[in-house]
Amino acid sequence: MLPKNVSDIDLPVKCFPIFRGYEWQYKRILDDAHHTLLVETYYGRGQIRPHLNGTQFGQLRMLAFRQSNQASSNMGEVSGTINHHYWVESTTNTSLVQQTAALSNALSQEAVNVQNNSGQVVIGLVKRVIMKKEQVLVSSSDVCPHMICTLPYVNKKTGILETYSNGEHTDCDTTNDEYGELVNKYVQDEGCMNLKEYAAEMRALCSNLKKTRWPLPTTCCSTLNDPNNLCSRFTHRKYFVVPSGAICWDISSDIMLNGARQLGSTFHGHVASHLTSCSIWIDDDGMITTINPGFSDPAWGTSGGYAYLSRVGRERREMVVNLISNYMTQNNGVHPRLPGVNVANYL
């Protein structure tokens, strides 16, 4: 346990931290009423992740920008396919989607703010190199825009309420090649010694990471909803596990009820294999069951990926070039003055 929160490059030993666990710094807003709204709006399995090889249970949703084309509807929005949200009409009450928008946005912003304060430095590096190359100020949400949300799911075949769990896996949360190379160059040319040592440790640890990419962090929060006061009869056991780092983060009911109603973590999902364990419930007599008596342990967070960074970078440059070209056409070749943009770089 560190006496104070410091950035990854200022840790007392040379290392590349793959996981940080902490108590969530925001007051709990996902109460029972809001949780019920989410469950009634999104009632299917949501996104099925093929690389989990059938080990995913419960429901996984991405309630902000999507990373693939896995959805059947986008609420009528006309835009690039990857820009659509995960509205799967067959498993979504679309009449309630707009009612969840404010809640989803609030939870997402919480996750972004917590991630910024978690000690990770990669997002700041990406923002800096984009500013240096394109003279455009981007936010942390531009780097990690995807909001993850896990919820319970009622299995139609068995009638059992499944809490979310999955098998050991790694994710695709990295920068694209272009920005990864820019970060590499920045670290070598302008980085301090601590940053260079941090990068060296990261490369030594991350054998599965392309040399032209950097891992992006994921930040998640777990909580417990128990409207029927089942915690008075059962103890819920559940863990977030990072096997490659020998880490087991306890998100069980007794932890949640002893003051820490929300537990957060920031980790590098591409670097370290990880999993969310299956839940077990222990009653007052010590009997153990894997059948959910009625608990819900929702979680949410934010992550990023190379596909979004590639597309957004291209669209951003095209937008600026078109803006400059239109202005020059209408003003006899005079260059526009755009705040925060070095126009010469786009000519």
**Residue 95: burial class (beta carbons within 10 Å; 0-12, 13-18, 19+):** exposed
Contact 342, 133 (CB under 8 A): no
Express each pLDDT in 297-335 by its tens digit.
999 999 887 655 655 556 556 666 777 788 888 888 888
Confidence of residue 74 (pLDDT cuts 50, 70, 90): very low
Higher pLDDT, 231 or 239: 239
Q: Of 154-163, 239-248, 261-270, 291-300, which range is least confident?
A: 154-163
Residues with Cβ within 8 Å of 143's Cβ and at least 6 positions away in sequence, in order, are 123, 126, 127, 216, 304, 309
In this predicted structure, the answer to whether residue 69 has a pLDDT above a threshold of 50 is no
Write the CA distances from 187 to 195, 199, 208, 213, integer angstroms. Answer: 7, 8, 20, 13
Residue range 125-167, pLDDT digits in tens: 999 998 887 777 788 888 888 888 999 888 888 888 889 999 9
- Cα 22 from Cα 293, distance rounded (Å): 28
Please state the rounded mean pLDDT for residues 32-52. 81
Asked if residue 266 has pLDDT above 90, the reply is: yes
Judged by average pLDDT, the poorest of 165-174, 205-214, 299-308 is: 299-308
- Give the DSSP H or E segment for 22: strand 19-23
- Reported confidence tier of residue 250, pLDDT bands at 50, 70, 90: very high
CA atoms within 13 A on the CB side of 313: 21
Distance of CA 150 to the CA centre of its chain: 11
- DSSP at 147: E
Amino acid 313: pLDDT: 58
Tokens 């670097």 locate to 271
Distance, first Cα to last Cα, the chain: 52
Mean predicted confidence (pLDDT) in 266-293 = 92
pLDDT at 84 over 70: no
Q: Is the pLDDT assigned to residue 246 strictly greater than 50?
A: yes
Residue 176 confidence (pLDDT) above 90: no
Assign residue 341 a region: left if phi > 0, alpha if psi is -120 to 50, beta otherwise? beta
**Could you write out the DSSP letters of every residue in 279-341?**
PEEEETT--EESS-SS-B--EEEEE--HHHHHHHHHHHHHHHHHHHHHHHHHTTTPPP--TT-
d(CA 134, CA 131): 5
Q: How many CB atoms lie within 10 A of CB 202?
A: 21
DSSP bridge partners of 222: 263, 299
49 three-class SS: coil
